[in-house]
Amino acid sequence: MSQQFLQSLPPDEFEEVKSMIGEVFEVYEIDPYGCAWIEKGWNYPEEGKFMGHSLGLASHEMELVDANAL
């Protein structure tokens, strides 16, 4: 993800999205522009909230991983 995108996020969202870097996700959709969409959620029970993010990634922003090798 570009630094420009990450820096455009509010501080709490920045930390959540930044924590997604390097994780393995299943792509749930490929849009008409060729972006692969992934999602992740965080549960904050002490605050009584749930936060989730979906991101559309370009091919240069991801790496294909063999699920059988995990």
CA distance 60 to 53: 20
Q: Which tens digit of pLDDT belongs to each residue from 5-37? A: 888 988 878 888 888 888 999 999 999 999 999
Q: What is the dihedral of CA 13, 60, 21, 26, to 10 degrees?
A: 100
pLDDT score recorded for residue 29: 96
pLDDT score recorded for residue 33: 94
Q: Which tens digit of pLDDT belongs to each residue from 32-61? A: 999 999 999 988 898 898 988 899 999 998
H-run or E-run covering 57: strand 49-57
Higher-confidence residue: 2 or 9? 9
Domain boundaries, the chain: 3-61
CA distance 51 to 41: 6
